[in-house]
Chain A
Amino acid sequence: MPLQRRDLLLAGAGMAVAGAARAQPGPLRLGVLTDMSGPYRDLTGPSSFAGARQAAEEFSAATGMAVEVIVGDHQNRPDIGANIARQWFDRDGVEAVIDLPNSAVALAVSGIAREKNKVVLGSGVGSTVFTGAQCSPNSIQYTYDTYMLAKGTGDAMVRQGADTWYFITADYAFGHALQADTSHFIEAAGGKVLGAARYPFPATTDFSSFLLGAMATKPKVIGLANAGADLVNCIKQAREFGLLRQGVKLAALLMTVVDSISLGLPEAQGLLMTESFYWDLNDRTRAFSERVRGKLQGRVTTASCAGCYGATLHYLKAVKDLGPARARASGLEVVERMKAMPTDDDAFGPGTIRADGRKLTPGYLFQVKSPAESRGPFDVHKLVATTSAEAAARPLAEGGCPFIRS
């Protein structure tokens, strides 16, 4: 009988199964699932991959345990992200998925990891739902969430006297949530919200109308509840129309060191924003940035790079503590061990992971330096205020995480 195409396919499938079986005792395999080609590429993407690889290399060098890190591009689409995750878990023997910027993708993958008893180390995921209503005992949220951003910026600025706010808000769930969260803290600290302009997302490129409308209410702070290119456009145009010279402060509710560099200091100086990591925060963060620099191809160390590093390192410590065989058998046990062990890494210092999966980390309020203060291309932020790790996270009881109550 001549060889038919179906036989070939079967043979191919057989080899794939055999390959997967052989891969079992091989190196511990981790997958960074991130945005390699879309709007969050510069904030996460390659720098997240670099952070995870750095952790794997350092851990392998110290313990001799073989760890392999692969990368996938979810293209900000939950269906694609979920497919890659399934393939990784079922076929490629991946034990943990790392990063997951874009909350929709993160939630989809978190469900799959729970079903397969694997692990999710969220770094780029910002939604508080991830450790709230849709929390999972197999998932960790390591780097930040929108609660921390809102509190770190809203609360800290009102305490410094900037107590009347006007918002310019992207008209979709993310913008509304940022505005609502921040308003809550402003009012709790005794400040006042004068109004808000909701602009159509993503079809808006000119914000001057909204900025002038905001100025008519005479606020002390204009809060920008948006991100990425919209945020950059708002800031450029606010400076162009002389808002900052009239004494108004701009607070970016989701902004990173990458945005400051991208805008350039002459445009960005004076802006305020909250992040949980900055490369020049202390000796340990500087040492970490120096070590990982070779993997970043001339780019700055992002919070996401640091988060993927810290989360991966802590995960590997838990795996070693538990024994690789048991770790492969149950992702749930690894995450429970991660919560039981205190964290300690150069990027974030000592810390803990709470029962709902939230890593407790301080929120730092940064101000963008003026060109005169800056001593190098990455020297862009100065620390203005710190919200302690306990105060920066939403209280455990308020999250509504189902497995906490039970």
Chain B
Amino acid sequence: MDDIFGIPAPLLFGQLLLGLINGAFYAMMSLGLAVIFGLLNIINFTHGAQFMMGAFAAWMLLEWAGLNYWWALILVPIIIGFTGVVMERLMISRLYKLDHLYGLLLTFGLGLIIEGVFRNQFGSSGLPYRIPAELQGAWDLGFMFLPIYRGWVVIAALILCLTTWLLIEKTRLGAYLRAATENAPLVQAFGVNVPRMVTLTYGFGVALAAIGGVLAAPIYSVNPQMGTNLIIVVFAVVVIGGMGSILGSIITGFGLGIVEGLTKVFYPEASATVIFVIMAIVLLARPAGLFGRA
């Protein structure tokens, strides 16, 4: 059996693939954050809670309405996205003229409240959610068993990321959005309803978090704290990629997943720290992030 750096090759390939899968989650989550920050200038600390709400909404649809995973994939982003729209209209929209810090505090507080409410309602130990029957089982790749569901997560994440990137970079709507970020009064003068566009953008970012939640529900414990652990890593991903950079957050998300996977092979104790070490180095060398504009 071939060894690479003293690690059996199959184990190494397996870990690389797993890193890519985790990276898919990082990419999806940081994408939503980047969209929101890029266009609204709001650091959305509620993102973890919205990810969690996505997973819970999938569970509720299954338990209370009998709607399966595929329905959840369509309905949950719409429902949770709508709660985002309401939140933006009622609260966040009042803060655009103030310092970043106010938006951060508001969204952080909202995140804590939402988590608290879910914990009171559903307890802290989590709810069961199974992998849909169509995606159960595993492929034997020779060097490892790849669960079909994990493969699906990577494909779904790639499709979502590319669609979002195309939407913002290559369509007329995206051009309006980017123009509104640069100079909102001017775009408004051309007859574009900028406040509505901003509201919908926030809703879209939240919907991305919610889809992440639905995808995560069958493989992670569905509990009120599930977003909290992920969100810290995801913020590091956004900072490394460059705040507000769509492509940056996608590439960094997948890349850091792989780096983290490799760390788990060579020195597991450091696997949670490695991303922050990279973040510190990137901040020192390129304060705007790898893909950000200073």
Contact = CB atoms under 8 A, between A and B. Distances in A.
Interface string A102-118: 00000000000000000
Contacts of A202: 229
Given A240-B150, A240-B219, A37 B119 contact: yes
Contact of A205 (B116, B149, B230): B230
B225 to A, nearest CB: 6
Contacts of A267: 128, 130
A37 B126 CA distance: 14
Given A210-B264, A212-B18, A262-B128, A37 B116 contact: yes
A322 interface: no
Given A212-B11, A240-B147, A262-B128, A199 B268 contact: yes
A202 B119 CA distance: 18
Interface in A33-67: 37-43
Nearest to A259: B125
A253 B21 CA distance: 28
Interface stretch (B83-91, B242-250, B269-277): B269-277
Contacts of B132: none
B223 to A, nearest CB: 5
Given A204-B271, A205-B220, A216-B11, A232 B126 contact: yes
Interface residues of B, number: 45
Nearest to A168: B268
Max chain A CB contacts within 10 Å: which of B11, B149, B150, B264? Answer: B264
A209 B128 contact: no
B261 interface: yes
A242 interface: yes
Nearest to A237: B219
Interface string A222-264: 0000001100110011001110000000000000001100111
B164 interface: no
B60 to A, nearest CB: 16
Given A209-B265, A212-B14, A264-B130, A38 B124 contact: yes
B11 A213 contact: yes
B126 to A, nearest CB: 5
B119 A41 contact: yes
A213 to B, nearest CB: 7
Given A241-B147, A262-B125, A229 B268 contact: no
Given A209-B15, A213-B264, A236-B221, A40 B124 contact: yes
B250 to A, nearest CB: 19
B233 A203 contact: yes
Nearest to B148: A240
Contacts of B186: none
Interface in A306-361: none
Interface residues on A, range: 35 or more
B195 interface: no
A240 B149 contact: yes
Nearest to B8: A216
A42 B125 contact: yes
B264 A203 contact: no
Interface in A9-48: 37-43
Interface in B204-227: 218-221, 223, 225-226
Contacts of A233: 220-221
A202 B221 CA distance: 14
Nearest to B276: A203
B127 interface: yes
A208 interface: yes
Contacts of B138: 240-242
B259 interface: no
A229 B226 contact: yes
A205 B269 contact: no
Contacts of A258: 125
A67 B103 CA distance: 50
B232 A41 contact: no
Contacts of A280: none
A204 B14 CA distance: 18
A68 interface: no
7 contacts: A42-B123, A200-B269, A200-B273, A204-B272, A208-B18, A232-B223, A236-B219
Interface of B: 8, 11, 14-15, 18-19, 21-22, 116, 119-120, 123-128, 130-131, 138, 144-145, 147, 149-150, 218-221, 223, 225-226, 229-230, 232-233, 261, 264-265, 268-273
What 5 A-B pairs are tightest by C-beta distance, nearest first? Answer: A264-B128, A200-B272, A203-B272, A232-B221, A209-B264
Interface of A: 37-43, 171, 197-200, 202-206, 208-210, 212-213, 216, 228-229, 232-233, 236-237, 240-242, 258-259, 262-264, 266-267
Given A232-B125, A236-B221, 8 more contacts: A41-B119, A41-B124, A209-B268, A228-B124, A236-B219, A240-B149, A241-B147, A263-B128
